[in-house]
Amino acid sequence: MTERLAADTAGLDRAAELLANGDLVAFPTETVYGLGADARQGAAVARIYEAKGRPSFNPLIVHVADLAMAERYGCLSPEAWGLADAFWPGPLTLVVPIAEGSGLSELVTAGLSTIGLRVPRGETAQALLRRFDGPVAAPSANLSGKISPTRAEHVLDGLEGRIGAVLDGGAAEVGVESTIIGCYDTPRLLRPGGLPTEIIEAALGRPLAHAPEANTPNAPGQLPSHYAPDAPVRLNVTEPGEAECLIGFGPDAPHDCLNLSVSGDLVEAAANLFEYLRKADASGRRIAVSPVPDHGLGRAINDRLARAAAPR
Ligand code: TXA
Ligand code: MG
């Protein structure tokens, strides 16, 4: 049985207690719901892979309450520190060299010498991390390869009975996962996400490097097929077929479609993306998606859509 916890004092206390006991707790962040485990307990981290059915060579993001705590687990260069200071708490993950004597389970890093660190901004995530007062390893709380959850019900759809509890903090604000920046040599984009790359580049004062192809096996979110609904997905559709369920975008999309944002707002579209993919999938029809502009959060949206549509 998976416990469903409210985001109040009793629920947060119980969630922190379960984590300390080595159990799995799904919790809301501002991006998507994460499936959390104590990052120092190898058995707890192993349960994440088991619950998700995820290949075990994938490293996990470690969530902490603040920058001071992040520095216990990772070595932040001046540039990494600058980004952390500017954008944490927020939808940014920094991959940095792991700190000596970090005490983190080897399973978290999948044997790499770097660690992905993130300080999430959601009120419930912050409250949980402060109560637990330790590092929480958390991938998105969905079965491996499936659509990321933006509500507690989505978590239960895939993981009911497989995890200790879900902490219900309502809908995730951002709706797509964090932007991942590698800060082990020159800052490089490993995954577009909830913090637009233009904003990061403006803070750095120079363009980001891009991930070498050789990096991709380390990033499940970077596999060609990921975030996949059961139904086939067709992209950049301007004329949907009669039998297709259309996910539209903007004021010109048909009235009866699932419109990511009628006003054409990319922030609203990101927040609706995974929920509408689920709804379209539940319609039992094939899925068609209107073009989405490829700037700002549109880059993260198009990245996820391309993976949802990739051959499996
Ligand atoms: O918004 C998010 O980032 C959500 C919430 C729960 O925080 N988490 C999330 O985790 O999306 P996950 O496991 O679905 O994706 C984590 C990504 C993977 O692509 C993984 O390979 C990459 O982070 N990653 C983690 N540590 C890494 C490292 N040391 N080097 C390269 N990539 C790393
Ligand atoms: Mg994921």
For the chain, where do the domains classified as CATH 3.90.870.10 start and end? 3-210
Give the DSSP H/E element, type plus range, for residue 289. Answer: strand 286-289
pTM metric for this prediction: 0.91
Q: Residue 262 corresponds to which tokens in the numbers above? A: 């009628």
Query: Alpha-carbon Rg of the chain, whole angstroms?
Result: 19
User: First-to-last CA distance in the chain?
Assistant: 32
Best probe residue, ligand 1, of 163, 178, 180, 274 (max atoms within 8 Å of C-beta) = 180
What pLDDT score does 217 carry? 46
Q: Residue 27 corresponds to which tokens in the numbers above? A: 């919790």
- Cβ of 140 below 6 Å from ligand 1: yes
Q: Residue 184 corresponds to which tokens in the numbers above? A: 């082990």
DSSP designation for 96:
E
Could you tell me what percent of the chain has a pLDDT over 90? 88
Residue range 213-241, pLDDT digits in tens: 544 445 555 667 778 899 999 999 999 99
What ligand has the least distance to the C-alpha of 112?
A: 1
In the numeric block, the tokens 């995820």 are attached to: 54
- Cβ of 292 below 6 Å from ligand 1: no
Residue range 86-126, pLDDT digits in tens: 999 999 999 999 999 999 998 898 888 999 999 999 999 99
Residues lining ion ligand 2 (Cβ < 5 A) are 140
Residue range 266-312, pLDDT digits in tens: 999 999 999 999 999 999 999 999 999 999 999 999 999 999 999 88
Distance CA 171, CA 150 (A): 6
- Closest C-alpha to 141, from 23, 29, 232, 57: 29
Cβ partners under 8 Å of residue 33, min gap 6: 26, 27, 140, 141, 148, 149, 150, 151, 152, 154, 155, 166, 172
Q: Does domain 233-309 have CATH number 3.30.70.1450?
A: no
Could you tell me the CATH superfamily of domain 3-210? Answer: DHBP synthase (3.90.870.10)
For the chain, where do the domains classified as CATH 3.40.50.11030 start and end? 233-309
Residue range 130-152, pLDDT digits in tens: 999 999 999 999 999 999 999 99
